[in-house]
Amino acid sequence: MKQNKKNCDLKSCTMCKQCQHDWLPALDANRKSFHFKKGEQLFIEGEEVKGMYFISKGLVKVHKRWSDEKELILRIARDGDIVGHRGLGADTVYPVSGTAMEPTDVCYIDLSFFNSTLRTNPDFQYNLLMFFAAELKESEKRMRNLAHMNVKGRIANALLYLQNKFGKDANGYINLSISRQDLASYTGTTYESLFRIMNELSTEKAINTDGKKTQILNAALLQEYIEQS
Amino acid sequence: MKQNKKNCDLKSCTMCKQCQHDWLPALDANRKSFHFKKGEQLFIEGEEVKGMYFISKGLVKVHKRWSDEKELILRIARDGDIVGHRGLGADTVYPVSGTAMEPTDVCYIDLSFFNSTLRTNPDFQYNLLMFFAAELKESEKRMRNLAHMNVKGRIANALLYLQNKFGKDANGYINLSISRQDLASYTGTTYESLFRIMNELSTEKAINTDGKKTQILNAALLQEYIEQS
DNA sequence: CGATTTATTGAACGTAGTCAATTCGGGTGG
DNA sequence: CCACCCGAATTGACTACGTTCAATAAATCG
């Protein structure tokens, strides 16, 4: 990671821009601007909590380890999202890691200043509270799905969720470039299982202009998989 | 459920008692006192959010349905805990249900008043925020465990967690009376699987003074199961 | 062009879920 | 007090899903 001169814009943060703007200058004075290359880690599970990150531009996966080779991706954050907030609370170590999936620019706010800013801006605190409430709901829904849906259903579900969250590009593809390995980690399954099921799900394939093959998902099958699970 | 005359005590709420006490009278004026019998539901998944519950005395499971016969227990709340807070946020329906596992007395606060009290007491809002942060951490840890641990490990884990949370009584038993069905739902497995594994885990059995049999868990095995998974 | 990683497929294995049968224990009513 | 009944406990057998391992093919990179 490297600190750069480029000014990140806190107003692009979904949570900040709904707040009274008279506090932003103070926040602005305390921010640092960082750039992370693809694959670099913003914060690491088990390390001391240092601060919060507001993503100006990029993509960050938040993941949690299990044993040496397994992990679960908890969330995929992008422009305007906040990450590192799981470091809040009594515990002073990050319970999760954050890794850039693309080159990513962030605003960084020191934890102690972040904490004090909560007190001075109840609006922001309220927004953050609502954000946590939404995250908790989502987390518990996924937890139930992990417990009771089969892999087909979880994959179908994840694809629809990601399509809904990231939208579609001009070609109708999901506006998110993610490796199969990451998609497997996101749905809580193995690379091989994901591979096989993705094949079942794509009844047709397209050849892109660059010569690469793209799988085209069958919407009806997606629905079917969810219902069967 | 029935509203009773008995005064519930908001100061017994873990979150309230850390706050400035000058707002408590206002909160106090807006509370209602309810009693729920074992098995009665405080709130139901899918229903309109009405308010928050502070448990004065009792035990409440928070659970989420999957299909008609399956559910996942997300949390077991007791004296001093708050439930119904998952109703906060943009969505106006409860994403989960709350059911009394024992006769339970609660303080009930109307949602609209609860929301306004957040604004007037930043301390309380801050405590609630930290509470949500802790819940989210816990939820995500369990999510990862559901994804990667096997059933043995999850059960062993859950038993240790519950022992840690509810403590042990004079006989060394976990201070929580929970049905096997509920324990299965809590660990995300079936009644039968839980049964078999609990048998494996208890290398000896005790006959209580009342003639009932009690399973005595083998601590070493618990540890082993967690490590193997 | 060789080397090394990533994709693809097959086969086997084990875990845990499902179904069904039986037993047990504790009421309840005759 | 006994016969009956019901739900919970207990156990066995079977099955299926998904992981794991291994082998091959394809692609990427220096």
Q: What is the pLDDT of residues B47-98, one digit of tens each?
A: 999 999 999 999 999 999 998 889 999 999 999 999 999 888 888 899 999 9
The tens digit of pLDDT for each residue in A13-40 reads 777 777 766 667 777 788 899 999 999 9
Angle at A220 between CA A219 and CA A222, to 5 degrees: 65
Question: What residue ranges of chain B are covered by domains with CATH 1.10.10.10?
Answer: 150-228
Lowest mean pLDDT among A121-125, A140-144, B201-205: B201-205
CATH architecture for residues A2-139: Sandwich (2.60)
Question: What residue ranges of chain A are covered by domains with CATH 2.60.120.10?
Answer: 2-139
**What CATH class has B150-228?**
mainly alpha
Residue B161 CA, nucleotide D22 C1', distance (Å): 39
Res A227: pLDDT: 87
Give yes or no for CB of A51 within 7 Å of strand D: no
The tens digit of pLDDT for each residue in B20-51 reads 666 667 777 888 999 999 999 999 999 999 99
Question: What residue ranges of chain A are covered by domains with CATH 1.10.10.10?
Answer: 149-228
Partners of residue A137 in chain B, C-beta under 8 Å: 86, 89, 91, 95
Out of B91, B122, B137, whose CB is closest to A125? B122
Q: Which of these CATH numbers, 2.40.10.10, 2.60.120.10, 2.40.50.140, 3.30.365.10, describes B2-146? A: 2.60.120.10
Nearest chain A residue to B185, by CA: A147
Which protein residue lies nearest to nucleotide D21, measured between its Cα and the C1' atom?
A: A192
Give the residue-averaged pLDDT of B150-174.
Answer: 93
Give yes or no for CB of A196 within 7 Å of strand C: yes
Decide if B93 touches A, using CB distance below 8 A: no
Residue A199 CA, nucleotide C4 C1', distance (Å): 26
Q: Report the CATH number of the A149-228 domain.
A: 1.10.10.10
